[in-house]
Amino acid sequence: MTALPHGWARVRLEEIAEVRLGRQRSPKNHSGSQMRPYLRAANVGWNGLRLDDVKQMNFTDAEAEIHRLAVDDIVVVEASGSPDEVGKPAIWRDEVTDCCLQNTLIRVRSAGVDPRYLLHFLDGVARSGGFVTRSRGVGINHLGSSRLAAWQVPVAPLDEQRRIVSILEENLSRVDAGTDLLRRIRSRSSQIEEGLLRALLVGPGDNGCADGPKSNNIDDGYLPPIPKSWRWMRLAEIAEVVGGVTKDSSRQSDPSVPLVPYLRVANVQRGWLDLTEVSEIRLPESRAKKLELQYGDVLLNEGGDRDKLGRGWIWEEQVGGCIHQNHVFRARIRHGLLNPKLLAWHANSFGRPWFERNGRQTTNLASISLSKIKQFPVPVPPVDEQTALVERIEDQLIANRRTADAARHALVKASHLRRSLLAEAFAGRFATQDPDDEPASVLLSRIKGQREKPRPTGRSRGATARE
């Protein structure tokens, strides 16, 4: 742990703030005479609160008194299915709305430290992954209010806290402006790519139009016209489509069963494969051989978030003996009927709304069945036209992808810059130290004395812990 500048102190968060978990939600609270808005983890974004989808549940007056938000309260994500989201903070600024919080959030109410100083400190810990490493749970990661309460916080003199906040926010606003521009560029590049693919993959429709495939009780939506020499075909007509292996936990501790690499949903991205981390699974050799991927296989995601359905790309034997899990489909094209790239591009463009329309949504996950994905409609050009079509598409995409790649690299640098700014600020290397500032030890003594005072009964609705 690095030494602090003169006049600073390091304390547990609970020594300078009230740390309280939100109220648990249960079915009995979904209705009642005292319905109030409440925040949950989904309302907390990296750049502030998202208040466009605030739910309501019944809080009695006594419950609301405990779990109500006051101006300058900080809410911290306690539980999330995405580990990187754990510990993400935001600040409540609404002086009017009577709002409470659910137990996927922890409320941090400062007792004397500048609230925005605390906000930026917690933000720095969250963005650097500090809270993730301390979270617990399988599937859903939990930070825990007790672990957050015990977190060590470097406390600067109060006047220096305000100088740090002022300089930080001026610099971070510039980073945010650049980041917003880069995200717009990436979004626009993605739209351009999807538009190019949609246009090129159906060919020039000026020489008559081929008919669409039989409906088979599938919602195809709008099928664009294709040249008369092309054909609309179902995926099962041109490819062998199979699901992957389901993990058998009873085999995973048996060293006699061979380990083989396998691809998960996270490995199969839209237009590329992320092979930085390929997991292994124990599987009998005969079963592994049957599922082994071959060059040119098209991988398509079966489930996950709704926007991941059908997302995919081509296997090019980057990892020997690799198979795929049950949440990833493999499409192996028969007899060279279609260039694999044409299928993958089509799934990633036209396929996005098709998979969403024909997928199934459960509480937390979306999925599409093997029988449904086999009905995916695919435009198939004559074989002798496909090589030239692939070359044309690749030429069109190169310049657009260079722009998107440049924006992506710049976003990574912006993220590193933000983390560096936050780290420097809370190491005392950001704002100038003033020897006339009241030391943090005096501030902490005052906070301790105020918190030890007997609290008056019957606090008003807007009262905070900073009395």
- Could you state, in order of their start, the residue ranges of all structural domains in the chain? 11-156+448-467, 158-203+383-437, 215-380
Q: Give the pLDDT confidence of 95-113 residue by residue, as tens digits.
A: 888 999 999 999 999 999 9
Segments in the chain below pLDDT 50: 458-467
Q: Given this model, what pLDDT does residue 66 score?
A: 95
DSSP 5: P
Six token digits for residue 407: 């924006």
- Please name the amino acid found at residue 413: K
User: Tokens 């093997």 belong to which residue?
Assistant: 370
State which fold the 215-380 domain adopts: Adenine-n6-DNA-methyltransferase TaqI; Chain A, domain 2 (3.90.220)
The reported pLDDT for the residue numbered 92 is: 97
Cα four-point dihedral sign 117, 119, 124, 130: positive
Q: What pLDDT, on the 0 to 100 scale, is given for residue 216?
A: 74
Establish whether domains 11-156+448-467 and 215-380 are of one fold.
Answer: yes
Specify burial of residue 359 (Cβ count, 10 A radius: 0-12, 13-18, 19+).
buried
Q: What average pLDDT does the structure give for the chain?
A: 89
Q: Rounded to 5 degrees, what angle do the CA atoms 66, 70, 72 make?
A: 135
The yes or no reply on domain 11-156+448-467 and CATH 3.90.220.20 is yes
Question: Tell me, what's the pLDDT at 195?
Answer: 83
Whole-structure pTM value: 0.69
pLDDT of residue 463: 41
* 3-state SS record for 179-218: HHHHHHHHHHHHHHHHHHHHHHCCCCCCCCECCCCCCCCC
Please give the radius of gyration of the chain, using alpha carbons only, rounded to the nearest integer: 28
Question: In whole angstroms, what is the distance from residue 233 CA to residue 377 CA?
Answer: 6
Residue 166: what pLDDT?
96
CA 150 – CA 131 distance, rounded (Å): 12
Q: Mind listing the pLDDT tens digit for each residue in 437-457?
A: 999 999 999 999 998 877 655
Q: Which residues of 316-349 are buried (b: 16+ CB within 10 A; e: fewer)?
A: eeebeebbbbebbbbbebeeebbbbbbbbbbbbb
Distance in angstroms (rounded) separating the CA atoms of residues 436 and 253: 64
